[in-house]
Amino acid sequence: MAFDDLRELYQEVILDHGKHPRNFRHPPEANRQARGDNPMCGDKITVYLTLAPSPSGEDVVADAAFEGRGCAISQASASLMTEMVRGKTVAQVRALFENFHDMCTKDDALHGDHGDVDEDAMDRLQVLSGVRQFPMRVKCATLAWHTLIAAVDGGAKTSTE
- Check the CA dihedral 8-47-101-92 and report its sign: negative
pLDDT, mean of residues 45-74: 95
Reduced to 3 DSSP states, what percent helix, strand and coil does the chain have, rounded to the nearest 5? 50, 20, 25
CB 149 within 8 A of CB 97: yes
pTM of the shown model:
0.87
pLDDT, mean of residues 55-76: 94
Please check the confidence at residue 48 and state whether its pLDDT lies above 80.
Answer: yes
- Taking the C-alpha atoms of residue 41 and residue 61, their distance in angstroms, rounded to an integer, is 29
Between 76 and 106, the more confident residue is: 76
Ordered structural domains, the chain, with CATH: 3-154 (3.90.1010.10)
How confident is the model at residue 75, as a pLDDT? 94
- Taking the C-alpha atoms of residue 99 and residue 115, their distance in angstroms, rounded to an integer, is 9
Best CA proximity match to 33, nearest among 61, 75, 73, 1: 61
Residue 98 identity (one-letter amino acid): E
